[in-house]
Amino acid sequence: MKADPEIQRTWSRILGEVNQPGDFLWRKLDEGYYVIAHRLQAGTGTVASGPAADYEILRTLIPHLDRTRAVPLNFRHDCEFTGADVLKSWAGKLDADVEAGVLHAYAVVDSEAFGESAASVLRAAGLQVERAREGLRVADGPFIQRVNLLRIVVEMVIARSGIVEAQRALAEKVADEFKLYRRLYRRFAQRFHEFEPAVLDHYFTAYPDASCVAAGWDYWEVSGRRPSEGEQVFERAMEEFKTFLTADSDGWLAGLLEGACQRGAA
């Protein structure tokens, strides 16, 4: 996701202008996208107080505040965003107070509006899109992908990107994921053609010999990985899958009720 120079300049300006305790600045970057810098009163602030401490101010400034998400500029998480610069690399000495927690710097994003527009962008690319509890469920033919919208919003803020760029990057990422799924499935179908290969939900499935019980491999295991890494994960999994499919079924079918697996029966 590419940084927007104007958004970075906006961040730099408001971080540099909140010099006195109690100073509060905000800017609207786009519909449903705001950046805020608030210097705390001496001795009153901790990192834990965060954007919640500013709620009374924000609710008079930002529409639909109850459906927004606040993302600190110095967001810390176990996920990594490829190409995203650390705060100090572009904010210089301004990052010290942000990291110390005496300067609250964060973006507020209308997550519902972001989700709706992201779904529209994906539908325009010919994909089927449904809202899901954690974001979006996107389908391209038999293949399905899940989209964590909050992660996209966080990446947008950390990368100093705009909404249009974030949704472009999302559409590109989803398209790349589907290309990988299709490529891997072609290899799966060729490799296990005698086992009636198919795609079911987010699984590649195959029927072990003489069984009506389908074995499946979750292709979401390669989601979010680099293509080369995804290929390695797939190859390791397929070796294990082959071992299972070609194993004697007497043992693992023994627990099923007699007659439960009579494929082709009326």
Domain presence at residue 156: yes
Domain presence at residue 265: no
Same domain for 46 and 101? Answer: yes
pTM above 0.75? yes
Across residues 174-202, what is the average pLDDT? Answer: 93
Same domain for 11 and 99? Answer: yes
Say whether pLDDT at 227 is over 50: yes
Beta-bridged to residue 132, according to DSSP, are 135
Across residues 103-119, what is the average pLDDT? Answer: 93
Same domain for 16 and 93? Answer: yes
Sign of CA dihedral 172, 176, 177, 181: positive
Domain presence at residue 82: yes
Same domain for 35 and 83? Answer: yes
Domain presence at residue 266: no
The count of domains in the chain is 3
Q: How many CB atoms lie within 10 A of CB 201?
A: 12
Percent helix / strand / coil, the chain, rounded to 5:
45, 20, 30
Domain presence at residue 263: no
Same domain for 54 and 146? Answer: no
Domain presence at residue 182: no
Domain presence at residue 199: yes
The pair of structure tokens assigned to 187 is: 């290899």
Same domain for 85 and 39? Answer: yes
Say whether pLDDT at 44 is over 70: no
